[in-house]
A and B are shown apart, each in its own frame.
Chain A
Amino acid sequence: MHAHLFDPYFSGASPVHACDSRIKLALVLVFILCVALAPVGAWAALVLYFATSLAAIILSGIPLLKILRRSVIALPFALAALPLVFTTDGVPWISIPLGPWMLSPTAEGFLRFLAIAGKSWISVQAALLLSATTPFPDLLLALRAFHVPQLLVSVIGLMWRYLFVLADEAIRLMRARDSRSGIEPGRRPGGGVLWRARVTGGMAGSLFIRGFDRADRVYAAMLARGYDGETRALPAPPLTPGQYTVLTAGGTWMVMILLLAILIR
């Protein structure tokens, strides 16, 4: 029973699923970079990028609403850029006195805010599609291809294996805490905030100890199975010319949109 940790992989048999993970990771990174480099007023470019990501989602066969619903996660962060509406220079729409300050939202500020929120939303969609169409071991393969050191990739792989196990431990700890706390309707369980925080600290310490012990057992098991400190992986399958075509075509498309957006200003 997992609380909010879930494997985002959504199996399917689409061209996007079949595409090599290394190609997909490269395309997503190029996409996010191009979106980030798009000038502020280039709305046509942003719409084109949005259309590109939507096309990819449709091609993958994953329900569109599913991805869009998950993509809303990052949107509230856009409010961090909200002050831009008031602080960017330009022709103010209205002026609202607020104590000692004068709030004057400008059109330019609003456009900048929209640009940031839009870019963020589009980038999240691309990342979501990547993790929804690529099984985790393939993602590790892609990381290796991008020259992420083997030690780091091995640690991430082991972390993924034990993540759900330890998440279940954490849920059990929280359930044990609930079952040992007297609950009066209308009141929070437990004493004051400080007491609750310290109890949570004890739970975290307990999780650490279980983690240390488990790591010892895992290490002993790996030794018993011939582990010598080196992680060996099967050689990555070579990339076919078709994959390279996809990479060049996709990359060219995205860079072209960016160049057009910059040149037509």
Chain B
Amino acid sequence: MFRNALQSVCRSHRPLLLGSGLVLVWLTTTAMHIPDGFLSPLVALFFWGVTIIAVAYALSRVRVELTERQVPLMGVLAAVIFAGQMLNFSVAGGTSGHLLGAALAVILLGPWPALLVMTCVVSVQALIFQDGGLLALGANIFNMGIIGVFVAWGVYRLVCRLTPDARWSRLLAGFLAAWSSIEIAALVAALQLALSGTSPANISIPAMGGIHALIGLGEGVITLGALSFLMAVRPGLVSGKGPEKTESSLVWVGGLMIAVLLAILSPLASAHPDGLEWVAEQTGFLGAAQGSFYTILPDYVVPGISNGALATILAGVMGVVIVLGAAFLVSRIRKTPTSG
């Protein structure tokens, strides 16, 4: 009898479940740029700090390496990446695959110019096109710029080192670098959401990680195709070492270590239903800071009775409706004197 009840519930709820499942999939495919409101101020400001330090260092390195060609080169290539993100190919149903471009940028430019290029792209996307929030911009640059570029760089250099100097090895390295950059960036975004308490870790990490494992395949194949084309047309552009004049193993080894660390940390964090607390415990000071912040932002007053909550919701909705109505009224009144 229970099984019949369960089946009937699932059948009647199936459109809702299917709909929400599809929506969840769709939104996670567009979900690398985190808007404002989803990261707690503490998490957002922390990643702003990290990003500022990394970008400042990248600026100093680029001034030394590229000299005066840097502005037109990086400016035009930033526009290339931005425009390249418009290129798409149909996958299935209505979905299409897109390019992030961090891996391609780092293979062609080296890590520090690529980081600056991705910083410009993500910043303009947030500032002008509202693709990602302004407070969350630091975290978005961290995910798509720092993580995307350095993980791709680490994986690319590692695979090039482990394989002989041949065309297929570059293509394989490019594919793996692009896939890992997407996957690790998605895991970091999921961790940021979990740390902010917006999305429980045991849902956000598997969801983002799973979906972006597929999206990463698209990025990998696009990067592979681009490298194949570039190696045929401009052989000098793609090499196993990259255009860096100074051979610094610290950078690509560091990128690789970040990737490995996150690859291990994320499944562990997601295994705990309270992944948020577990991760906060492991990173000691974050736990302490979160604790003190919660006293500044006191937990919502538990209504206890659902009527109280309903009243709050109703009051909020009414407030919003009144304000919107007043706003439309005022804008209508304002329009009549100026029209004609």
Contact = CB atoms under 8 A, between A and B. Distances in A.
Interface in A58-106: 58, 61, 63-64, 70-71, 73-74, 76-77, 79-84, 87, 90-91, 93, 96-99
Contacts of A243: none
B15 to A, nearest CB: 14
A44 interface: yes
Contacts, number: 353
B226 A201 contact: yes
SS of B interface (majority): helix
A107 B203 contact: no
Interface in A189-203: 193-194, 196-203
A118 B233 CA distance: 51
Best-buried of B37, B273, B310, B315 by chain A (most CB within 10 Å): B37
B316 A114 contact: yes
A44 to B, nearest CB: 7
B316 A54 contact: no
Interface stretch (B66-74, B162-170, B248-256, B257-265): B66-74
A157 B74 CA distance: 11
Contact of B312 (A4, A77, A111, A151): A111
Contacts of A200: 87-89, 97, 99, 222, 225
A139 B228 contact: no
B27 A54 contact: no
A182 interface: no
Contact of B41 (A33, A194, A201, A262): A33
B116 A152 contact: yes
Interface in B272-309: 273, 296-306, 309
B241 interface: no
A163 interface: yes
B76 A43 contact: no
A133 interface: no
B161 interface: no
A108 B80 contact: no
B128 A205 contact: no
Nearest to A221: B72
Contacts of B271: none
B221 A201 contact: yes
A56 to B, nearest CB: 11
Describe A's contact surface by its main secondary structure: helix
B234 A209 contact: yes
A207 B83 contact: yes
B63 A151 contact: yes
Contacts of B44: 36
B90 A188 contact: yes
Given A84-B200, A155-B116, A159-B75, A43 B312 contact: yes
Contact of A44 (B24, B116, B319): B319
A204 interface: yes
B327 interface: yes
A244 interface: no
A91 B304 contact: yes
Contacts of A71: 130
A184 interface: no
A54 B303 contact: no
Interface stretch (A165-173, A232-240, A246-254): A165-173
Given A79-B23, A157-B75, A209-B230, 17 more contacts: A36-B44, A39-B297, A77-B31, A79-B27, A80-B38, A80-B198, A90-B302, A107-B303, A127-B126, A160-B124, A162-B76, A174-B87, A208-B77, A209-B233, A218-B75, A262-B296, A265-B298
7 contacts: A32-B133, A79-B24, A107-B310, A111-B300, A162-B76, A198-B228, A201-B225
Interface of B: 6, 9-10, 13, 17, 20, 23-24, 26-28, 30-31, 34-38, 40-41, 44, 55-56, 59, 62-63, 67-80, 82-84, 86-92, 97, 99, 101, 104, 108, 116-117, 119-121, 123-124, 126-131, 133-135, 193, 198-200, 203-204, 218, 221-230, 233-234, 237, 273, 296-306, 309-310, 312-313, 315-316, 319-320, 323-324, 327-328, 330-331, 334, 338
Interface of A: 3-5, 8, 28-29, 32-33, 35-37, 39-41, 43-44, 46-47, 50-51, 54-55, 57-58, 61, 63-64, 70-71, 73-74, 76-77, 79-84, 87, 90-91, 93, 96-99, 107-108, 110-112, 114, 116-124, 127-128, 130-131, 136, 139, 149, 151-152, 154-163, 165-167, 169-171, 173-174, 188, 193-194, 196-212, 214-215, 218-219, 222, 227-229, 231, 262, 265
Closest 5 CB pairs between A and B? A201-B225, A158-B75, A229-B68, A120-B37, A107-B309
